Amino acid sequence: MLDETRRRELSAILQPASPPREIDKPFTEEQKRRMLNVVHSGGDWKLILAQHFASPEELLATFAGGFPEGFSPTLDMFLTPTFRGFFGNYSAALYPELHDVFYNAAFLAQAKEYWGAQYAKPQMMLFNVNGPCANRDPGHLDTPSFRGIRYENSPTWLCSIMGRSGLFKDYLIKMAQVITWFSNDPASGFTYWPSGPLEKPARVKSPIYNRAVVVQNEMLVHRGEANGPVERRHPHGLAFESTFNGEPGDPDGWQVRTGDAVIASYHTDELRFLVHWSAEVFMDFAELKTNMDRTDDLTFDRVFDTLIKDVRSRGVVIGTPSDPLRDPAFIGALNAAYNFGGPAEYPAEAPVDAPLAA
């Protein structure tokens, strides 16, 4: 367990370049319909958990702490029916019909203004979608990218720990997101900690239909909130292989399937549909060139050497594994070294749902 001074040091690292800025109606209804049409016809969309994490240790390394000593998690404890797919990646629109929403001039202007930067380019655009859903996430960071070690080529847990450690800030790729929600839920919102997770939280409160924030989510501890009727938030039969699909013949019909079985059905009005647009931002041409010509990139060897030396300098015993990218004990040890214990406070209106029983 870290002492209070160290916890405060780590909390202070996790502050965005600017506080989140709210935007009203960033998309037209016609653009929303086109995005949903891609989701409806695209299937089978997988759970977020199933796409990004191979072990509980990898998942916990992205959380902002908040679990008691001796807690033995399993991935099943954190299953929620939230699914993900990509509209754009690697700075390319993946669907021609969404060209205008990905190469979005208004969003690029917002990203540059957020940082006070000269240049920006769209990098990625994903969606999260669910019907009624619990949220067992105590707060997390989105995956940061660093020169040479990026979300595209590196495990989510490693990028998260690199960001939380504060050791690689000179290599952090500046990013800005426009996060938009389409939800009719009367109570669900978005919780975030703009001054660090040990300080007071803030919320984007309902209604959050076609509302957005401009943020730097890689350095902002945040969480979506639970939505929908409690009794419908965890469909019976939900499993890691469950998928989200459009209902054949009904553009406003949606299904969660496990194998051939339909375990939940929703209408579009019951969805919480999140659209996450992300841009890389460069303060000037010199920074743009350094990022693009790859003359000052990190390597995995250098990153692990830096992390291990830092942990050992604090009197913590940590081994040097043969497979540091996948070794659960090593991942757990690194997480403990940079784990400040979780946010100090949650809004009374947005508590964290307890993990499912083992």
pLDDT tens string 28-73: 999 999 999 999 999 899 999 888 776 656 766 666 555 555 556 6
Does some domain include residue 353? Answer: no
Does some domain include residue 69? Answer: yes
Question: Minimal CA–CA distance to 132: which of 207, 234, 233?
Answer: 233
Structural domain boundaries enclosing 314: 4-337
Q: Which residues contact 322 (CB under 8 A, 6 or more apart)?
A: none
Does some domain include residue 350? Answer: no
**75-86 core/surface letters (b: 16 or more CB in 10 A; e: else):** eebbbbbbbbbe
First to last CA, the chain: 24
The list of the chain residues with pLDDT below 70 reads 54-57, 59-75, 356-358
Does some domain include residue 355? Answer: no
User: For the whole model, what pTM was predicted?
Assistant: 0.90
The domain total for the chain is 1
Model pLDDT, residue 357: 60
Does some domain include residue 352? Answer: no
Token pair 């194998």 in the structure block, residue: 259
Does some domain include residue 19? Answer: yes
Model pLDDT, residue 54: 67
Cross-strand bridge partners of residue 35: none
Model pLDDT, residue 136: 84
d(CA 333, CA 17): 29
DSSP 14-38: ---SS--EEEE--S-HHHHHHHHHH
Does some domain include residue 347? Answer: no
Q: Are 200 and 15 in contact (CB under 8 A)?
A: no
Does some domain include residue 209? Answer: yes
Q: What CATH number is associated with residue 313? A: 2.60.120
Model pLDDT, residue 315: 92
332 three-state secondary structure:
helix
Q: How many CB atoms lie within 10 A of CB 319?
A: 11
Summarised one tens digit per residue, pLDDT across range 215-250 is 999 999 999 999 999 999 999 999 989 999 999 999
Model pLDDT, residue 61: 67
d(CA 274, CA 165): 28
